[in-house]
Amino acid sequence: MKIRYFSTGYIYVYSLALVVVDTLTLSRDDNDLFNFEVFSGRVVGLFSYWLIVKNLAGLAESKGRSYKVAMIAGIIGFPIIGYLLSFLILN
């Protein structure tokens, strides 16, 4: 986990890049091409998500487990848990 590409600065740059791509392509609105409040909220949300996954992977590594498995489980598991919780709350 000591690879520099997992540092906080790189994670922030990855978050910015993903949100810019999403803002300019997938979730673009014809009336408002760039909404700064929505952009900022998405950056904070995605950056927080990556930091949580990174910290859990570091915790798993310190306990002797594989950080790669923990990262993959976090990347896949958190969205699934969030979807299931929202589904249960709405029904």
pLDDT tens column, 39-64: 888 889 889 988 888 888 889 888 98
18-35 burial, b at 16+ Cβ within 10 Å, e below that, comes to ebeeebeeeeeeeeeeee
**Band of residue 29 on the pLDDT scale cut at 50, 70, 90:** low
Burial class (CB in 10 A: 0-12, 13-18, 19+), 15: buried
User: Does the predicted model carry a pTM greater than 0.85?
Assistant: no
Residue pair 15/50 in contact by the 8 Å Cβ criterion = yes
Q: How far is CA 55 from CA 25, 48, 60, 70, in A?
A: 30, 10, 9, 10
